[in-house]
Amino acid sequence: MPSPYRAIFSAPGSRGFSAAGFVGRLPLSMMGIGIVTMISQLTGRYGLAGALSAMVALSAALIGPQISRLVDLHGQRRVLRPATLVALAAVAGLLLSAQFSLPDWTLFLFAAGIGAVPSIGSMVRARWAALYRDQPRQLHTAYSFESVVDEACFIFGPIVSIGLSTTWFPEAGPLLAAVFLAAGVFSLTAQRSTEPVPHPREHHTKGSALRATGLQVLVGTFVATGAIFGAIDVVTVAFAEEQGHKGAASLVLATYAAGSCLAGVVFGLLHFGGAPARRWLLGVVAMGVSMIPLQLVGNLPFLAVALFVAGLCIAPTMITTMALVEQHVPRAKLTEGMTWVSTGLAVGVALGSSVSGWVIDAAGAKAGYWVPAAAGAAAVLVGFLGYRRLSSPAPQREGPDGRAADAGQHQDGESGTHPERDLA
C-alpha cells in the first residue's frame, strides 16, 4: 500500500472501523443484484425482479436520511443496531415469501422494510472526519481510500451474490448479504472510542441539510448517476443470460468496479488546486459519454472492456463530489448531508433498475443499454444546469459549537479545517 494510505491508519482504531465498514458495505452491492438474480431464477420475471430491487433502493432513499439525522442527534450505536434488526427481519420475510411463492404484494412489503439498512459508508466517513478534521490532506487520502473500498465491495459483492444464487440456491445471495450486514454493523458499533460525538438537538433547528442549494444540485445529478448503476446491473445480468453465461455477469460487473477502483487509488495519491466544481463537471460528462459504447456490445468480452473504461470515471467524480458536499453542507449535519447524496443514488438505482427491467421484458437485453445511456445524458444536463450554484462561494456554516465556521475555504482537501464527505 502506498505510504499516504499507510499513514492514515496510524490513528488508533482506524483499522478496526474501516474493516467493519468494508464488511457492512458488502450488502450494498449484494442485496439488489441478489434479489434480481433470485427472482429471475425463481420466476423468470425480470420486470418483477427489477421492480423489487427498485423498491429496496427507493425505500432506502426515504428512510436513510432519517436514520442518519437520528445518528447525528443520538450517536451511531443507539440508532444503527435497531435499524439493522428491522432490515434483517425484512430480508427474512422476503426470502420466505419468494421461497413459498407468496403473492407479489408480500415481496414488495418486505422489500420496503429492507430500506432500513443504514448508510454504513457515511458512518465510516464520519469517523474519519472525527480523526482528521484538522488535517485536510489526510482526509483527502482517507476518503479516497474509502472510495476504493466501495469499489472493492462492488467487485466482490456481485461475484459472490450472483455466484451463490446461480450455483447453490436462489436465496443464497441475499441471505449472505444479510449476514454481512449484521456482522459489519454490530462490529462497527462495538468500537466506541472512534464513534463521533452526537450533535446537540439545537444545531438541527434550521431544517434538513437538503436546504443547501449546492447539495440539491449534487443530489439531482446523482439521481441520474444512480440510474446508470441500477440499469447496468439489471441489463448485464439479462445480457449474460441471453449469451448463455448468466453466471459470468458477476465477473463482467466486477470489471466496472475494477476500473473505478484503479482510478480511485491513483486519484487518492494526487492533490489538486483550484475549484473542484470544474473537475466534478468534467467527471459527470465523462460518465455520460462512457455509456455510448455500450450500445455497440455484441459479446461479453467486449462488454467487460467497455465497462472497465466506463468505471475509470466513477471514483474520481465521487471523491470530488464529496469535496463539494463538504463546502455546501453545515458541519453539524455531517451524516445527514452525506446520506442525502447516497439517497440521490438510491432513487436513481430504483428508477434505473425498474425501467431497465421493463425494457428487457419488452425488447430484450441489448435494448436495455439505452437506459443507462439516457441516464448519462440526464446527468450531464443537470450538471451543466447546476454548475453555477456549485461554483459559487458556499454560505458561511456553523461549527460544532454553534458559531460560524470558515466554510468553503479549501478545495478538495487542500486547505481549510473541514472534512470531505463521501456517500456509499
Average pLDDT, the chain: 79
Helix/strand/coil percentages in the chain, nearest 5: 80, 0, 20
Give, as one character, the DSSP assignment of residue 411. Answer: S
More confident residue, 44 or 222: 222
Q: Count of CB atoms within 10 A of residue 75's CB?
A: 17
Q: Tell me what pLDDT residue 1 has.
A: 52
Q: Tell me what pLDDT residue 398 has.
A: 46
The b-or-e profile of 101-126 (16+ CB within 10 A means b, else e) is eeeeeebbbbbbbbbbbbbbbbbbbb
Split at pLDDT 50, 70, 90, the class of 185 is: very high
How many Å apart are CA 101 and CA 6, to the nearest integer?
50
Q: Tell me what pLDDT residue 416 has.
A: 32
Percent of the chain clearing pLDDT 90 (strictly above): 13
Q: Tell me what pLDDT residue 307 has.
A: 92
Task: Using the predicted structure, report yes or no on whether residue 169 has a pLDDT greater than 80.
Answer: yes
Which CATH number does 14-194+210-397 carry? 1.20.1250.20
Split at pLDDT 50, 70, 90, the class of 410 is: very low
Mean pLDDT of 101-125: 86
Task: Using the predicted structure, report yes or no on whether residue 17 has a pLDDT greater than 80.
Answer: yes
More confident residue, 264 or 272: 264
Closest by CA to 376, choosing from 319, 306, 327, is 306
Mean pLDDT of 71-96: 89
Q: Tell me what pLDDT residue 375 has.
A: 93
Task: Using the predicted structure, report yes or no on whether residue 61 has a pLDDT greater than 80.
Answer: no
Q: Tell me what pLDDT residue 209 has.
A: 64
Q: 155-169, 231-245, 410-424: lowest mean pLDDT where?
A: 410-424
90-110: per-residue pLDDT in tens?
999 999 988 888 888 899 999
Chain-centroid distance of CA 396 in Å reads: 28
How many Å apart are CA 246 and CA 240, to the nearest integer?
5
Judge whether 161 and 91 are in contact, CB under 8 Å: no
Split at pLDDT 50, 70, 90, the class of 82 is: very high
The b-or-e profile of 148-180 (16+ CB within 10 A means b, else e) is bbbbbbbbbbbbbbbbbbbeeebbbbbbbbbeb
Percent of the chain clearing pLDDT 70 (strictly above): 85
Q: Tell me what pLDDT residue 394 has.
A: 53
Closest by CA to 225, choosing from 300, 283, 297, is 283
Q: Tell me what pLDDT residue 357 has.
A: 81
292-350: per-residue pLDDT in tens?
998 887 788 899 999 999 989 888 888 788 777 777 766 666 666 677 777 787 778 77
Judge whether 34 and 174 are in contact, CB under 8 Å: yes
Task: Using the predicted structure, report yes or no on whether residue 371 has a pLDDT greater than 80.
Answer: yes
Contacts of 326 (CB under 8 A, 6+ apart): 418, 419, 420, 421
Q: What single string gives the DSSP state of each residue in 89-129?
A: HHHHHHHHHHHTT--HHHHHHHHHHGGG---HHHHHHHHHH
Task: Using the predicted structure, report yes or no on whether residue 267 has a pLDDT greater than 50.
Answer: yes
3-state secondary structure of 258: helix
What interhelical angle do 14-43 and 76-99 show, nearest 10?
A: 20
Task: Using the predicted structure, report yes or no on whether residue 404 has a pLDDT greater than 50.
Answer: no
236-247: per-residue pLDDT in tens?
888 888 888 877
Q: Where are the domains of the chain?
A: 14-194+210-397
More confident residue, 150 or 177: 177
